[in-house]
Chains A and B, each alone.
Chain A
Amino acid sequence: MPGHTSKVAAVLADNISTDIIYPGRFMATVLPTETPQYAFADNAELNKRLKNKEIPPNSVVVAGANFGCGSSREQAASTLKGYELVIVARGFARIFFQNAVNLGLRTIVCPAIEASEGDKLEILPDKIVNATKGKSFPTEPLPKARQAIVDAGGLIPFTRKRLLEKSSKH
């Protein structure tokens, strides 16, 4: 849904690790429907705002460089997907980024993004306009191969399609 406008719900620093997004002690929880309650569990205020639905779906979280560094735990992506957040970051760590694409969590690379909590952002195909600050910032397109997964609605339908193609050949 390019072209949508939403508010910045939170602004986070560089190097937000998967431990901050989804602490390891909750990793026995494997169902994506259960995971949202632990989003940013150690950031009590943000966790509470999410759980109390003070942050509406499609809100933007703006982060610095290397968002999602650390673990391969997919819960870090599914927990944010659970609130339908959009993550705009200066950069992402590789595994988290791939998990986000696979699960359909919207992640946008915007190396120069400047935003404060409450700012209104308009997300366009090639840039983000910060309407509050009156500035716009170019975004990096998803690599083609990953766009194909997004277009398929995530890795599960994408692989299901490949599986059916493969089995029809036999």
Chain B
Amino acid sequence: MGMTLVEKLLAKATKQPVVKPGDVLEPGVDLAMSHENAALVINQFVEIYKGTGIEPKVWAPSKIAIIFDHRVPAESSKTATNQKKIRDFVGKQGITKFHDIRGDAGGICHQILVENGYVVPGLIVVGTDSHTTSHGALGAFAFGIGATEMASVWTLGSVLNVEVPGTIKVNANGKLPLHVYPKDLILYLIGKLTAEGANFMVLEFHGDTIKKMSTSGRLTLSNMSVESGATSGLIPPDEETLRYLKEEAGVNFRGELMKPDSDAKYDRVIEVDASNLVPQIACPNAVDNVKPITDVLNVKLNQIVIGSCTNGRLDDLESAAKILKGKKISKDVRMLVFPATWRIYKEALRRGYLADLMDAGAVIMNPNCGCCLGVHQGALADGDVALSTTNRNFKGRMGNPNSEVYLCSAAVAAASAISGVITDPRGVK
């Protein structure tokens, strides 16, 4: 019996010819990522060594990445103190993949990892962030873990008790229509799967829609796979992966491009005709409460957000800038734009996208996770309604339990900014 992609990745990582769902493994870790929650990881790491007489030392300083992104620059003295503690630890332990608050190297962790060539096909990647699933877009088995588990990884260099997950295959075929984006495809899928439909499983994406999709779009699919409960969202690496690595991450990858076997066994196969998709909206307060935009037109908005690890990339800013160039954002809404990294920020600046967005009335923020999880900037007032390209709309997500969040693509966000109500970008002249 053949193996799915995740089975192949885990077989390779544990040097076994075959693994099957339910097997419990302890794969070595190639990359271990944390953000500001490294402060908690450090506490737990030190705790592990307590009473052992052994000096706390991470297993491989070059395999640890720490990126400040959730609350930068620090919004409180508490955060600032945590960040200082992490800086001291990074220096002491010799951790090399450290991205501090800097205009030449900073940004949101998941995007930083791919831009800098830290992730290549075939790796085992763990991160103390649930959207670590993003890196499945490059054919790595990447998943989120908690802080104590990360402390254990820092100690042992392996991740304990990984049960080989079952796989749901997604076959997406057909050309995405104008103004319909990978974000619409993943929202549609989450609506179909439900928020728990892929719990303890992985999604594996196939079909000509994916073949023709840029790595940026693939990152959006993998990023939000976790919203269906998936451990990871995997895309078999191909020519586009090699192109991305070479042209955008500066990596000449010569390793194996692992593919699932043609006789791999899937728990379920989902077929999607991408050519029939329309823009999708996840309505409050659940990511799987997904409706075609035609069902939710004209909902009045107070805040619009473009950004995050889901949709803060250059193509997202481009689609928004093209819609908003020469137009004005409604006086009734405020629009916040968070480019995912400073590299994206600078390129969007060079291409004029940011000027177009500012001229329309948007506020350009520094790259960070911002209001996506309600910790820093852009909090909502009681009764506020937000439309956002971020990845979650749980109750209280943007910092206020008495507000509502709708999720969409950057094009829907931009079209809606003009009118101040949820608007179909396909009708905007």
A, B from the same assembly: yes
Chain B residues positioned under 8 Å from A1 (CB to CB):
none
Asked if A24 contacts B196 (CB within 8 A), the reply is no
B370 shortest CB reach to chain A, Å:
11
Q: Is A2 part of the binding interface, using a Cβ–Cβ cutoff of 8 Å?
A: no
B396 engages A167 (CB within 8 Å): no
Most buried by A among B36, B130, B151, B163: B130
Whether the Cβ atoms of B396 and A163 lie closer than 8 Å is no
Whether B130 pairs with A28 at a CB distance below 8 angstroms is no
Shortest CB distance B187–A (Å) = 16
Residues of A within 8 A of B118 (CB): none
Whether the Cβ atoms of B163 and A160 lie closer than 8 Å is: no
- B288, chain A: closest CB distance, angstroms: 8
**B196 contacts A69, CB within 8 Å?**
yes
B146 and A20 contacting across the interface, CB-CB below 8 Å: no
Q: A17–B149 contact, CB under 8 A?
A: no
A39 to B374, CA, bound (A): 16
Q: Are B54 and A103 in contact (CB under 8 A)?
A: no
B390 to chain A, nearest CB (A): 12
Instruction: For chain A, residues 111 to 162, give those with C-beta under 8 angstroms from any C-beta of chain B.
Output: 143-146, 148-149, 154-156, 158-160, 162
Residues of B within 8 A of A15 (CB): 195-196, 286
Complex contact B130–A102 (CB within 8 A): no
Contact of B161 with A28 in the complex, beta carbons under 8 Å: no
Against A, the Cβ 8 Å flags (1 = close, 0 = not) of B126-143 are: 011110100000000000
B128/A156 in contact, CB under 8 A = no
CA distance A133 to B148 in the complex (A): 38
- Within the assembled complex, what's the spacing in Å between the Cα atoms of A95 and B144? 7
Give 10 pairs: A residue, B residue, CB < 8 Å, sorted on A. A15-B195, A17-B394, A69-B229, A94-B231, A143-B163, A146-B161, A155-B149, A155-B152, A160-B49, A163-B156
Mask: chain B, 387-406; 1 = CB below 8 Å from A; 0 = not: 00000101111010100000
* CB atoms of A72 and B229 under 8 A apart: no
The smallest beta-carbon distance between A87 and chain B, in angstroms, is 16
CB distance from A138 to the nearest CB of B (A): 19
A36: CB under 8 A from chain B? no
A35 to B357: give the CA distance in the assembly, Å.
40
- Partner of A145 from B40, B76, B161 at Cβ < 8 Å: B161
User: How far is it, in angstroms, between the C-alpha of A159 and the C-alpha of B51 when the chains are bound?
Assistant: 13
Q: How many residues of B contact A (CB 8 A)?
A: 55
Instruction: Check if B195 sits within 8 Å of A27, measured CB to CB.
Output: no
Contact B52 A19 (CB under 8 A): no
Chain A residues, Cβ within 8 Å of B231: 94
| Bound complex: CA A77 to CA B392 (Å) | 20
| B147 CB contact (under 8 Å) in A74, A93, A167 | A74
Judge whether A143 and B392 touch: CB under 8 Å: no
Task: Among A72, A143, A155, point to the contact of B129 (Cβ < 8 A).
Answer: A72
In this complex, how many residues of chain A approach chain B with their Cβ under 8 Å: the count is 48
The 8 A CB mask of B150-193 against A (1 = contact, 0 = none) is 01100110001101000000000000000000000000000000
Known: A69-B195, A94-B231, A95-B144. A163 touches B48 (CB 8 A): yes
Name the residue of chain B whose CB is nearest to the CB of A44. Answer: B401
Residues on A with C-beta less than 8 A from B78 are 28-29
- Is the pair A156, B47 in contact by a Cβ cutoff of 8 Å? yes
- Least Cβ distance of B46 to chain A in Å? 10
- B196-A98 in contact (CB<8A): no
Spell out B's residues near A (CB within 8 Å): 24, 36-37, 39-40, 43-44, 47-52, 54, 70-71, 76, 78-79, 82, 127-130, 132, 144-149, 151-152, 155-156, 160-161, 163, 195-196, 199-200, 229, 231, 286, 373-375, 392, 394-397, 399, 401
Q: How far is the CB of B148 from the nearest CB of chain A, in Å?
A: 5
Contacts A156-B148, A159-B156; A93 near B196 (Cβ below 8 A) = yes
Instruction: Please tell me if the beta carbons of B229 and A163 are within 8 angstroms of each other in the complex.
Output: no
Contact for A94 among B39, B199, B394, CB less than 8 A: B199
User: When the two chains form their complex, are residues B394 and A20 in contact, meaning their CB atoms are under 8 A apart?
Assistant: yes
Structural contact, A164 and B52, CB atoms closer than 8 A: yes
Q: Assuming A19-B397, A70-B392, A159-B48, is B70 touching A27 (CB within 8 A)? A: yes
Most B CB atoms within 10 A — which of A19, A72, A77? A72
Known: A20-B394, A98-B149. A30 touches B196 (CB 8 A): no
- Contacts A15-B286, A17-B394 given; does A145 touch B163 at CB 8 Å: yes
* Contact of B195 with A72 in the complex, beta carbons under 8 Å: no
Q: Contact partner of B146 among A66, A70, A74, A164, CB < 8 A? A: A74
Verify A102–B196 contact, CB threshold 8 A. no
Bound: A144/B401 CA distance, A = 38
Contact of A23 among B44, B82, B200, B396 (CB under 8 A): B396
CB A89 to nearest CB in B, in angstroms, measures: 11
Residue of A nearest to B201 (CB): A94
Contact of A24 with B374 at beta-carbon distance under 8 Å, contacts A74-B40, A91-B199, A166-B156 already known: yes
Beyond A69-B229, A94-B199, A159-B155, 5 additional pairs, beta carbon < 8 A: A28-B36, A74-B40, A91-B196, A143-B24, A145-B163
User: Do A28 and B394 contact each other (CB < 8 Å), given the known contacts A69-B196, A156-B48?
Assistant: no
Q: Is the CB of B375 within 8 A of A163?
A: no
Q: Contacts A27-B37, A66-B195: A159 and B151 contacting too (C-beta < 8 A)?
A: yes
A164 to chain B, nearest CB (A): 6
- Find B374's partner among A17, A23, A145 (CB 8 Å cutoff): A23
